[in-house]
Structure 1
């Protein structure tokens, strides 16, 4: 690699700038539009993961950003490669995840002719990213890449999309690299913290809801210290379960899809709701029904790292522009009130959570997913990481699995299917010594199941659990509610997923009863290769608390 005082190609400067910013992993499907970058990566010391489809590569990068708080990096080719990757960009935007997508582009002199695979990146990606741009001048590569890192990580994090014209990458880039990016953390002021303390002291039914990104181990510990002293109930937002220890006596549960009705009622009954880090979007707000809009039904303290989110939907009684790390530290230092009239509420809420997260209802068919989740939480090490996409099977994860470590759940709050396998590959690449489990539905798995080949190629022994109910189950559930008995486009004819694993050179095992699962999981983990545990699930077992037949019957009676 050239020194800063020597001329180098724009591609070499780009890769050097990535290395200077601490990048150690990139995910890609190679393309001829950015061959100079691939060549610059060859001796860069940066690990390159070769993927099978750009959507999978982008999801791996997003998972990396979600797990580390540093931008996940993805390279894809122009046109179809970039549009394939858009699924990962949408996830990063809705999940507030730092990520940078570099996409190949046509030569600058061919613009506006609809040249081969030409596209307008600013127009295509502008609405679903924090910044979409194109580098025309090779001398500005360090400047643009530096801005990309700062933009992706500042305020509310999100994705940046940067197009790289093919001819620009070969030209010389004079001048030095930019200094590495540093996180910029907004902190609450003394007056805001004094007002928060007064609001808590005056409350009878306060509630703390944790969400969003930009959390750290220190913030995790600080919020626990706050809960130890203030003893108010704490809930986590949709797919942010690892932000708080579920066995802490203040934990009240997960305010996501299929939330405990008792938890929802307690949040609605709160006279003070402190939302820390999250936006309180559609799912955690239970369809925007928990609070009034724009004027909340209780005193709302909204703390968010992006100032544009404060007052965007709800008018807060107290809005605080602060990153979770700084806010958690300030909350840990607050003096606790002498009287805590809500302590009994906290004890009751935690007892309700514990009862809710135990297996209470038998399921139709041979495999009870609730019991499978309970076994997973008992058999896996505390630092195991669960990755999943979207589908009704995920309701069992949210309800029954207990995440004891920060960052131990990597899943899209955007509800994107096809995420579990590529996310697991990306996370195992990052943490090769930790147990990484990919939980998937059958339709969910087959959206990006080709990335199982990536796990095999790079010797990443992830364990994929495929919950096969031969259906697009979530859609089928809504179908039975709205059009009972009229099944249309939701049935699936699936392969033998255990054979699928073996075909790639992995380990595969089929499970048809709950009793078979512990041995199957142990064998998969011991195999030393990427594996698939194929669970045969009854189509009727659609959620932890209902069956399809019951939903259909209720819908027919309601007509």
Structure 2
């Protein structure tokens, strides 16, 4: 621990962040944490000032996904905290390390329903890994060290620390703490060998990889393991960049609009090697592909948090380890004597057929746009999205080539794609960042165009405009056909909106015009919005893409 020195709480907090290597924070300023803003004044930490606290938390989540280190966010009490809760929920469901600092009323005013008073332990209790309130300035460094540890250990996730303003402004004579950030396990060779031996006793195994704890090297290790063992690999929902999709053993991803043949392959598998994934309701199609009460196949579950074993499915074997360490150990093993070649080739053939474009009606064909992006963008281009039917096209037709190129919420949160794209563009200014968004999805966070302009972010946003909340309308047409209620949207001129913020904006009404529009957007050197006006009749195709109708 560093030698004691007298500082106000805001300075203690920021000095602790510097000690943990924090380079950037995201915030909307509030009078409840003025001392923390003062601490940031000359700390050398970038403060990305956003327009709404939901965008703050989503940008911090994206930072955590990209770096593996906690994304740090500051929001004010009351409305600021409630706005930020959407991003906290994303981080929890996505297992993303995050620390949210929330301003709080003075401690002496508690329980009077003072201005913007909220009980944050009650509010965030089910939304994060740990939430508490720091009431003693001298212990602030202790709480922050623990927050970093909790956010990164086991199954990563968000931590919320409430900061009473009188605690932050008070002085204390304390030092800084070197708290542990969770490290990955060094060697699991023997455990991995046992797992492969177990797997060799089955004829139709399927490897399912997802969850947190991934890296470029882990993607290489997974590719090597799959090739040596000739095993088919399916990736979890919105974890498509965990393995080069061009790999001959890649079988597709278990998403909302899953390939029906991949879904059947899960049903036909006699064993699942699940690495990192919680094997949740999206991957299992609402727990229908695998019955939690009576699984049709054997399961070996590898997860960093022992509490996940048996949470839904009772595994035949359970290994408590992070996915990166386990796949590293698997990649070092010699080939099994069991022959899975035909099973694996069949899985790959199903994927190749699935990603072949299926024509949709209208003058702008989204399947062709996504295919063009997949074929044209650099391998390291970052694709972001939120929620909506447009995302089904992205997941089906875009071929991810390397890790670190997909930012999307497994929680299915609308509005996520654009804040994530801003965060990605700031973190990687030399890489192409493309946000796919529906007209409803984009309007949930399009006010962050101002944030992008202020901080020099240059994402290209492709807005798919069908004039409706497409996913809800899709379900509405399925369950209550012809009874349209609450799903029509009145939209702005999205291209003009981009230009109003000093960016580049274009509207595309024909597929053939998209490539030139994208090239102009890329050459503009600023934030850009390309609005795609798509046919309302494409809705029926969305039914197919989302797995709600026969292909």
SS of 1:542's equivalent in the other structure is helix
Equivalent residue, structure 1, for 2:414? 417
CA contact (8 A) 1:187 1:323 kept: no
Equivalent residue, structure 1, for 2:81? 82
CA contact (8 A) 1:250 1:347 kept: yes
Q: Which runs of 5 or more structure 1 residues have no equivalent in the other structure?
A: 555-559
The answer to whether 1:471 aligns with 2:468 is yes
* In structure 2, distance between residues paired with 1:497 and 1:280: 38
Q: Which runs of 5 or more structure 2 residues have no equivalent in the other structure?
A: none
CA contact (8 A) 1:187 1:327 kept: no
Equivalent residue, structure 1, for 2:448? 451
Deviation at 1:6, TM superposition (A): 2.0
Equivalent residue, structure 1, for 2:234? 235
* In structure 2, distance between residues paired with 1:63 and 1:228: 31
CA contact (8 A) 1:188 1:321 kept: no
1:123-155 per-residue CA deviation (whole Å, 9 max, x = no partner) reads 000111000001100011111000000000000
* In structure 1, distance between residues paired with 2:19 and 2:179: 6
Deviation at 1:191, TM superposition (A): 5.9
* Distance of aligned partners of 1:107 and 1:546 in 2 relative to their CA distance in 1, 3 Å threshold: closer
The answer to whether 1:273 aligns with 2:272 is yes
- Aligned mate of 1:536, from 516, 533, 537: 533
Equivalent residue, structure 1, for 2:491? 494
Q: Mean alpha-carbon deviation: is it higher for 70-79 or for 289-298?
A: 289-298
The answer to whether 1:373 aligns with 2:365 is no
Match runs of 1:303-314 below 5 Å: 303-314=302-313
CA contact (8 A) 2:74 2:102 kept: yes
Q: Mean alpha-carbon deviation: is it higher for 166-175 or for 399-408?
A: 166-175
Equivalent residue, structure 2, for 1:402? 399
SS of 2:99's equivalent in the other structure is strand
Equivalent residue, structure 2, for 1:557? none
SS of 2:251's equivalent in the other structure is strand
Equivalent residue, structure 1, for 2:32? 33
Deviation at 1:306, TM superposition (A): 0.8
The answer to whether 1:436 aligns with 2:413 is no
CA contact (8 A) 1:391 1:441 kept: yes
Deviation at 1:363, TM superposition (A): 1.2
CA contact (8 A) 2:207 2:274 kept: yes
The answer to whether 1:144 aligns with 2:143 is yes
After TM superposition, the runs of 4+ consecutive aligned structure 1 residues lying more than 4 A away are 186-191, 543-548
1:14-40 per-residue CA deviation (whole Å, 9 max, x = no partner) reads 001101111001000000110111111
* In structure 1, distance between residues paired with 2:332 and 2:378: 32
* In structure 1, distance between residues paired with 2:51 and 2:3: 35
* In structure 2, distance between residues paired with 1:144 and 1:351: 52
The answer to whether 1:505 aligns with 2:499 is no
Equivalent residue, structure 1, for 2:356? 358
Equivalent residue, structure 1, for 2:6? 7
The answer to whether 1:344 aligns with 2:342 is yes
* In structure 1, distance between residues paired with 2:315 and 2:52: 43
Match runs of 1:199-278 below 5 Å: 199-278=198-277
